[in-house]
Amino acid sequence: MNEIPGYTEKSSRRDFLNYVLSIGFFGWIVAILYPLYSYLVPPKSPDVDVSNISIGKASEIENNSSKMFKMGNKPGILIKTKEGELRAFSATCTHLDCTVQFNKEENLIWCACHNGKYDLNGKNISGPPPSPLTPFNINVQKDEIYILK
Ligand code: FES
């Protein structure tokens, strides 16, 4: 019987086990790193171009309150002032893109990320936001509120 130099049955088993364990280890690394990568780098969602949406009944929104909505895949905010006037803006802060919210106690639009403040006309009045919020047009037909880009 021919013998292969350096070949023994024992080393062959060891090589095989090393091979199987290294594949398992590689799979384990991928199983840990891929979800971590997916979390840190979320997939890009395509921009949805929407220019006209219906967001509900005007009579169902109380004075001095707000309602969040989606304009495509971007957040928007509708504010009904103390006087009952409706105003709508992009809810994306012009500083670093956090979502703003209505602060009824201070009667302004507030960004919690860095304490940015906007008045109810969307104008930046305090904090780091460099520019006003983008306004949306509002059309109310038969009590239904339509937001127009
Ligand atoms: S992201 Fe809004 S103030 Fe910084």
d(CA 139, ligand 1 centre) in Å: 29
What mean pLDDT value characterizes the chain? 90
Alpha-carbon distances of 124 from 11, 58, 87, 131, 134, rounded to whole Å: 73, 26, 15, 6, 11
* Encoded tokens for 117: 């403040």
**C-beta 96 within 6 A of ligand 1:** yes
For range 5-10, the mean pLDDT? 64
**C-beta 117 within 6 A of ligand 1:** no
Q: How confident is the model at residue 11 (pLDDT cuts 50, 70, 90)?
A: confident
Alpha-carbon distances of 11 from 1, 7, 17, 20, 39, rounded to whole Å: 19, 7, 10, 14, 42
Chain centroid offset of residue 74 CA: 8
Single out the residue of 111, 129, 109, 112 nearest to residue 121, CA to CA.
109
Indicate whether 46 pLDDT > 90: no
Question: Beta strand 74-80 with 65-71: parallel, antiparallel or unpaired?
Answer: antiparallel
* CA dist., res. 100 & res. 83, Å (int): 21
What integer pLDDT is reported at residue 6 of this predicted model? Answer: 58
For range 54-58, the mean pLDDT? 93
Answer yes or no: are the C-beta atoms of 113 and 95 closer than 8 Å. Answer: yes
Indicate whether 9 pLDDT > 80: no
- pLDDT tens sequence across 118-143: 999 999 999 999 999 999 999 999 99
* Encoded tokens for 47: 């921009």
What integer pLDDT is reported at residue 73 of this predicted model? Answer: 87
d(CA 112, ligand 1 centre) in Å: 7
Pocket test for ligand 1, best of 89, 108, 111 (most atoms within 8 A of CB): 111
For residue 81, which amino acid is it? T
* CA dist., res. 68 & res. 45, Å (int): 20
- pLDDT tens sequence across 84-120: 999 999 999 999 999 999 999 999 999 999 999 999 9
